[in-house]
Amino acid sequence: MKNFVIIIFLILSFLFNFVEASDHSKSIVVTSNPYASKAAAKILRNGGSAVDAAITAQFVLTLTQPQSTGIGGGAFMLYWDKSSEKLYALDGREKAPASASPLLFLNKDGRPKKFYPDAVVGGLSVGVPGMMRFLEQAHKKFGKLEWSVLLEYPIRLAEEGFELSPALHRTLSFMPDLKKIEPAASHFYRENGNGELTPLPIGTILTNAEYVKTLKRIAEFGPEEFYSGKTANLIISAVNNSPVSPGLITLEDFANYTTVWRDPICDLYRKYKVCSMPPPTSGGITMLMMLKMLERFDIESEHPNSPNFIHLFSEAGSLAYADRDYYIADPDFVDVPVNGMLNEDYISERSKLIKKETSLRDRKPGKPKGHTKFSKNVDISRPSTSHLVIVDNFGNSISLTSTIEGPFGSHLMAGGFMLNNELTDFSLIPKRNGLFVANRVEANKRPRSSMTPTIIFNPEGEIYALTGSPGGSSIIGYVTKSVMAMIDWDLSPQDTVSLPHFMRKDENTELESGTDIVRYKQFLEKKGHKVVIIPKVSGLQIIKKKNKGFIGGTDPRGEGLVIPISK
C-alpha cells in the first residue's frame, strides 16, 4: 500500500510539473522584429549565450529596423551572469569627436539651429559609433560561439533580402529629407512615374549588397575592422563629405573610442531589487526616483489605468524629470549626484510635494547632496530606438537598448547602414542665464540618454523580470510603469505592454491618444493638470519569471516577436 501511494504521488508530481512547464520556458527571446527574434532563438538552440543571441539579433536589426537602430549607433545593456551571480552594465554610447565644441549647434548669430532638419540631418550630428566595440567587449566576456558564426545568418539575410515591414514603410512615409540624401534615397525609395519618390511598398524583398560587404569584412577581420579598416573610412567619408552640414570625424576619433563597464544602479521598490544603467543615461536614476517617490502610496489598491494612479504617476514623473533636466550628463565630465538623488531623506522630501488632490504646477529641481549648479537642459530627442530581452539555457539574462537616435539617424548611410544623429542628444544651447548646461557638447563626451534597460530581482535574489523600451525621453515613463505593473499588480508581460500610456515630463500631462484613458482628461484638469492627448510610440519588450521558467510579452504598438525555447 505504501509503495502504491508513493507511485501515485510520483505520477501526480509528474503531471503537475508537466502542466507547470506548459506555460513557461527555460530560455526565451523577445525582440522588436521577427527576423531578429528567430535569429537569436537559433543561436540559443545551437548552444549560444544570451550575449551571442543579442549580437546576432543586433546585426539583423541593423538590416530590418534601420529607422531605429544599427551598428552605426550605440547601446546600453545589463547582463546577469548566472555562473558568477553578478550583474554587469556595459556602456556603448557614442562619443563626440575631438573637434566638437559647445558651439557645435549654434548659428553665427549665437542662436541654436532648428532641431529638425538643421541640427539632425547631416554629418554634424554624427557621434563616433559605439555599437561595434560594445558587441566586441560583450562577446569577449560572455560569448560562447565563434564571432564569425554570429554573422552567418545576418549575411545571408542581407544577401537574400527581407520583407519590408509596415512599420518601416510607415516611417519612410514621413521622412521628406531622407529622400534628398544618397545613398539612402535610392535604397528606400522609388520614383512613382511623376518624378516623385515614394517609399518601397510593404512586403518588398529588400536586399543590401553594401551591408553584406561590411558584415563579411567584420566577420573575417573582427570588430577592429570597423574602427581602423575600410568601414571606418567609409563612415568618415560619409560624415565629412555630407552634402548637408558636414562634420569632422577622424580615424583618431575611432581609434580612441572605448566602451565602459559601469556599476549598475539599483534600489529596492517594495521588496524587489530594481537595477538599470547609470549615467550617461538618465534612465536608471530617473526611474528609481519615480519608484521611490511612489512607494509610500497604496498603489496596489488602484487600477493600473485609474485616474488616481495617472495623477500620482504623473506628479512623480514631473519631479524626477525636473532633477534629470539639470543634473544628469556624462559622468566622465560632470559630477552627477547619484547618491544624493537617491538618498532616502531627499526622496522623502521630494515625495511630500506630491498631493493627492492637486497637481504641482511650479515644479523645480531639488537640491540633492553633491549637486553642482547647472542650467536646465531642454530635451528634444524623438521616439525611436529598439529594445531586446533574452534569457539563455545557462540562466544568463540580457536587457539591451540600442539606437541610432533617428528615425534614420543623421540620414547618412555608409557601408549599407544608417549613421546616428546622437550628438543632438546634447543640449543645443550650452549656456543659459550665465550657467552652463551639464549636458552641453564637449569633445569626446557622451551625450545624455533616456535608455533604461532594466532587470528586476525578487526578494529571494532571483531574476524576476527584464524590461525596456524605445521612445525617446518617454522611455523612462514606459519602463517605470512596466516595473510597477509587474510588481504592484503582478501583471503578465503581455498585459503590461498592452497598458495605455500616460506620463508627465514637464508642464504637460500626456495621455495616449486612441485609448480609454483619454476620458480622464477633465478629471485631471480639475486637479490642475495641463493635459495633452498625443500618440505614444513605445516598444516595450518584457520577460518575466513564471513558475520555474519564463514568459514574454511584446508591445502591440510594434512588430516584435516572443519566442519561448524548450530544451
Name the grid cell of 221.
577581420
pLDDT at 17 over 60: no
Q: What is the pLDDT of residue 369?
A: 87
Q: Where are the domains of the chain?
A: 35-261+398-425, 262-357+450-565
Name the grid cell of 353.
510635494
Q: What are 154-211's pLDDT values in tens digits?
A: 999 999 999 999 999 999 999 999 999 999 999 999 998 888 899 999 999 999 999 9
Picking from 498, 497, 496, 501, the residue whose alpha carbon sits closest to that of residue 535 is 501
480-515 in b/e burial notation, b at 16+ Cβ within 10 A?
A: bbbbbbbbbeebbbbebbbbbbbbbbbeebbbbeee
DSSP annotation of 63: H
The strand pair at 417-418 and 435-436 is best described as unpaired
pTM summary value: 0.93
The pLDDT of 372-396, averaged and rounded, is 79
7 vs 180: CA distance, rounded Å: 74
300 vs 303: CA distance, rounded Å: 8
Q: What are 61-73's pLDDT values in tens digits?
A: 999 999 999 999 9
Longest Cα–Cα distance in the chain: 95
Contact 75, 131 (CB under 8 A): yes
The pLDDT of 102-131, averaged and rounded, is 94
Omega within 30 of 0 (cis) for the link into 430 = no
Q: What is the pLDDT of residue 22?
A: 38
Helices (H), 498-551: 521-526
The pLDDT of 517-537, averaged and rounded, is 97
* C-alpha pair distances (Å), 150 with each of 65, 79, 135, 448: 18, 18, 11, 30
Q: What is the pLDDT of residue 23?
A: 54
In 3-state terms, what secondary structure has residue 129? coil
The dihedrals phi and psi of 478, each to the nearest 5 degrees, come to -60, -50
31 vs 418: CA distance, rounded Å: 20
Check if CATH label 3.40.50.150 holds for domain 262-357+450-565: no
Tell me the catalytic residues. Answer: 385
Q: What are 400-437's pLDDT values in tens digits?
A: 999 999 899 999 999 999 999 999 999 999 998 889 99
Name the grid cell of 435.
550657467
**H or E segment to which residue 523 belongs:** helix 521-526
